[in-house]
Chain A
Amino acid sequence: MLSIILILFSSIFFAGFILRTKSIASGRKGPGIMQPVKDVIRLFKKGTIYSETTSIIFRIGPVIYFSSVLMACMVIPFGPYKGIVSFDGDFVFFAYILALGKFFSIISAMDTGSSFEGMGASREALFSMFAEPAFFILIGSFALLTGNTSFFDIFSTLHLGSSITYTLGGLAAFVLVMIAMIENSRMPVDDPKTHLELTMIHEVMVLDNSGFDLGLILTAGYLKFAMYGAIIADFFIGGLSVSFALPLFLFIQLLFAVTVGLIESFMARFRMNHNPQFILALSSVSFLIFLGVLLVLEKFL
């Protein structure tokens, strides 16, 4: 229960910190930390415009997308506290419930009948498919290392063995940051601030969403960031007591937000056809972690 509260709490500030980092990096003062949340609240109050082409799918899509992200957050543990839902193999559930949200966000983009939104939908489906094995090899390796199969058990037993696991944790953090960037359609893969619809992925999918629905989609994006931040934090928190774990958690979330901001400030978006290579390279980093785990377990003769 504590974990979901913490994720919700950090998601409020996450986007603000990213924005502030970007402003400072580009030498501007920038909006306040709370500006993204204020934007969302304003959107919630606004009226909506629906395309005449759309059907019920377009109306239920954002709701299911948001709920799936929230549901995925419920699986994440925090240090010594389990998530609301926790069982053996829960990370499979985590990945697949996020997939449900993606399914609906893709088809609700297709529902508008717009060529641009179809294009974004196609790219989203392709790139998130490529990101899938990186996550599974990553968590699979840690399941092998710890002999456990639920998020909570993996994280709470991770650092009991040896200190090399911190190195693996570092690599894992890198993979997860990149997965988070892909899933949230951020910089090296997608540029949310681009001016041209042809070069967008996620932004072009939500062109026709407005009002409450757009607010939900944006909120889901912030939640997703905080969710991945929580997983990264869990890699280092392990079995620490709450008094240490809580500051560490918030620090890692902050660090994650600043990292995202810095990546966004100093990297350019890849060419669209280089994205699959980049994302597949992530899987090989995951595979590196797997080999590291084999080393730790002394499976090589």
Chain B
Amino acid sequence: MFLYESNVLVGFLLKAFAALFFSGIVTIPFLSARIKPIASVSIVFIIALLTSVLAIIGLKEGGIEYPVSGGSFFGEIPLRIDGLSAWFILIINFTSITGALYGAGYLKSTRENLSLITFHWILYIIFHASMLIVTMVQNGMAFIVAWEIMSLSSFMLVLFDYTNPKVLKAGINYLVQMHISVVLLTMAFIWVYFKTGSFDFKKIELFFGTNVNTWLFLIFFAGFGLKAGFLGFHTWLPLAHPAAPSHISGVMSGVIVKLGIYGIFRIITFLKADYLVIGESIITLSLLTGLYGIMNAAIHRDFKKMLAYCTIENIGIIGIGTGLGLIGIAKGQSMLIFLGFGGALLHVLNHSLFKSLLFFSAGSVYRQTHTRDMDKLGGLIKSMPETAGLFLIGSIAIGGIPPLNGFISEFLIYCGILKGISAAGIAQITLMIITFAAMSIIGGISILTFTKTFGTVFLGSPRQKLTSEPAEVSFLMLFPQYLIVLLMIVIAFFPGYFVNILGMILTVKIFPNTGISAPDLSGYLAVLRNISLASFIFVLLISLVFIIRWVVMRGSASKLSATWGCGYTAPDSRMQYTGKSFSKSFGKTFNFVLIEKKRYEEIEREDTFPETRKYQSFYLDLFEHKIINPVILIVTRFINAFQFVQNGKIQAYVIYGIVFILTIFIGTILNFWH
């Protein structure tokens, strides 16, 4: 099946990757403070280069298989790089490189001590490498180890600002949730092991061939869904993302969350039956995920929290595409498979680009102003014009608005829905039309969210006096963002190239159980050419109107004056509309999902001369506060009932030991265990 089995070049590349990785980790502590970031970025870059070559070989040849001996514990670990892995490897590499470059600039101005920085860079390299390995290994046990290393290294990267108790709390929340994910995945792999006697991923296919598909898929989905942040599994995202330094949030949101999607895709390639029910369930869950994510994003004032919720929304969109693809397999429609899976995979790439761009530019704002509360900012476009422009580009792209790349992938998914609508079954048609409407609402709310954020942070005049005057960030921080924008524009105007790659990935070779020949892409390639043409026409149109405007306005007078105050003569910058007020009516309309809490003291009757008082209003996460926290409370109460066991008396502990030994002893004699 695989052409490049134990190829010399592949072996060399993999060995070089390993050698560079270990030597990098060992040498970084001994370098001087100035060289450290340069060395780390170059190591990340070279590792990315090596693995990208592997990915491209894998993509071109349809797959690489390279077995590595894992000793007596793991047995043989197969490293397989097929199109799916390759796609994710390339995404990981691009975002990790831009993240490292941005991070080098971001950490430059920090006054943290040197050992912390050293630790940070080592972890970054481990983090990058572990993500790559996750996409390559196909042995359950080794996969879990790589997955765990990835989770732990990202956990420690989140804790960069470990002295802040809020950061610690967010980090520990992340750590716990990621371990629930690991437990679920381990369960799933062990189940497969007991049924088939092997940890090799190929055996999952064997399992699905002989057992009911839904239950194992459900466990896998829950395990990977925790990482991806589907609804109900999402509560770590809005805590961890704001806590982490911005380049880490960018990489986490851009890539690590997508590895959950990778896992789900990987399991889908092994599925044998129950496509329809799984597909429809995924669409329903994703729909709710998307709506819930963007509704929460619309109301938060902390712009990094807003971006984290927005990631949840995009996972919903990716999930909708994935579900469509599964329905396509069930119905035997190769075009629907392509539009669903292809749209989802392209959206994975697109989201990794604009979300990291947004996190980086938001990080620049945080670096210069030291606040994440958008209602304290305003008018930053004047002091940070480039960052403002980059954030604007990201905002437009993330709304799926043409002429940028977000539109292309959302368009493919829309087309998938339209294909699915004409398929069959009233239940399915209704699901499709609801999905269709929900996607449009998501788009609408995302415009509200990003006009609010961009308008509040960058436009108008400053709402508060900041401790230091903000200035544009260094070129080192801007450069990676321009790189991202460049790639975004390439995808937006030349989507055909990427769609062809997706066609290479979505083959029977990688999705063997679809049993469907590759769809004829020429129709959609023509449509995409039309879209790029329309985008070009649009750009031309804008320039034309600008030229006309310039010509007409050349002669007429233009002057500056104060903003029209509607007759009020002493307007103040505090009177501007804030982000909170912008989304207030939205929040009120959806108050059954968005819980607003207020904290204030009533003015009492006897308060003749009221003193300065505080009024606070904030939003809570419905799931966290209405479902997860009450459950945790009940569980804690139940467990607390057993506190008498842990009483600190040595005598009692000795008795526990004796009881345990006796139970084992008597049990063995009476043959209880068989």
A interface residues (Cβ-Cβ under 8 A, vs B) = 44-57, 60, 63-64, 66-68, 70-71, 74, 84-90, 92-93, 95-97, 99-100, 102-103, 106-107, 110-119, 121-123, 125-126, 128-130, 132-133, 135-137, 140-141, 143-144, 147, 149, 197, 207-208, 211-212, 216, 273, 276, 283, 290, 294, 299-300
Contacts and interface: CB of A to CB of B under 8 A. Distances in A.
Query: Which residue of A47, A70, A97, A122 has the most chain B CB atoms within 10 A of its CB atom?
Result: A122
Contact of B549 (A126, A132, A212): A212
Contacts of B437: 133, 136-137, 140, 283
B232 to A, nearest CB: 24
Size band of the interface chain B makes with A? 35 or more
Given A114-B571, A118-B577, A67 B433 contact: no
A122 B585 contact: yes
A136 B584 CA distance: 26
A252 B523 CA distance: 35
B451 A106 contact: yes
A99 B400 CA distance: 10
A97 to B, nearest CB: 6
A299 B423 CA distance: 11
B530 A70 contact: no
Contacts of A55: 381-382, 459
Contact of B538 (A63, A71, A114, A143): A71
B415 interface: yes
Given A89-B414, A212-B553, A102 B564 contact: no
B421 A144 contact: yes
A118 to B, nearest CB: 2
Contacts of A110: 451, 454-456, 459-460, 577
A232 B36 CA distance: 65
Contacts of B415: 88-89, 92, 149
Contacts, number: 254
Contact of A102 (B447, B556, B558, B565): B447
B459 A113 contact: yes
A143 B540 CA distance: 30
Interface string B556-569: 11111111111000
Contacts of A68: 538
Given A50-B561, A85-B533, A118 B582 contact: yes
A99 B440 CA distance: 11
Interface string B410-448: 110011011001100010010011001111110111011
Q: Is the interface of B mostly helix, strand, loop or mixed?
A: helix
Choose among A68, A102, A107 the residue with the greatest number of B CB atoms under 10 Å from its CB.
Answer: A107
A227 B584 CA distance: 32
B479 interface: no
A111 B411 CA distance: 30
Given A129-B444, A133-B437, A113 B378 contact: yes
B575 interface: yes
A125 B448 contact: yes
Nearest to A118: B577
Contacts of A197: 566
A283 B303 CA distance: 31
Contacts of A137: 433, 436-437
Nearest to B401: A100
B564 A125 contact: no
A202 to B, nearest CB: 15
Max chain B CB contacts within 10 Å: which of A63, A99, A125? A125
Contacts of B507: none
Contacts of A130: 444
B407 interface: yes
A85 B537 CA distance: 9
B426 A294 contact: yes
A87 B526 contact: yes
B542 A63 contact: yes
Given A126-B586, A149-B415, A207 B566 contact: yes
A285 B661 CA distance: 72
